[in-house]
Amino acid sequence: MKIYKAANYKEMSRKAANILSAQVIMKPNCVLGLATGSTPIGTYEQLVEWYRKGDLDFSEVTTVNLDEYKGLPVTNDQSYYYFMHQHLFDLVNINPVNTHLPNGMEADSEKECRRYEELIHSLGGVDLQLLGLGHNGHIGFNEPDEAFEKETHCVDLQERTIEANKRFFASADEVPRQAYTMGIKTIMHAKKILVIVSGEDKAEIVKKAFFGPVTPKVPASILQMHNDVTLVADEAALSEVIR
Spatial distance between the Cα atoms of 11 and 233, rounded to a whole number of angstroms: 9
Note the pLDDT of residue 165. Answer: 81
Residue 67 annotated in active site? yes
Spatial distance between the Cα atoms of 206 and 57, rounded to a whole number of angstroms: 33
Is pTM beyond 0.85? Reply is: yes
pLDDT tens across 125-160, in order?
999 999 999 999 999 999 999 988 889 999 998 887
Note the pLDDT of residue 160. Answer: 77
- Torsion on CA atoms 156, 162, 164, 166, rounded to nearest 10: 150
Note the pLDDT of residue 189. Answer: 97
Q: What is the rounded average pLDDT of the residues 101-122?
A: 98
Spatial distance between the Cα atoms of 29 and 60, rounded to a whole number of angstroms: 5
Q: Among residues 112, 117, 127, 138, which one is catalytic?
A: 138
Q: Which domains does the chain carry?
A: 2-234 (3.40.50.1360)
Residue 29 annotated in active site? no
pLDDT tens across 67-92, in order?
999 999 999 999 999 999 999 999 99
Q: Among residues 67, 106, 117, 149, which one is catalytic?
A: 67
Residue 143 annotated in active site? yes
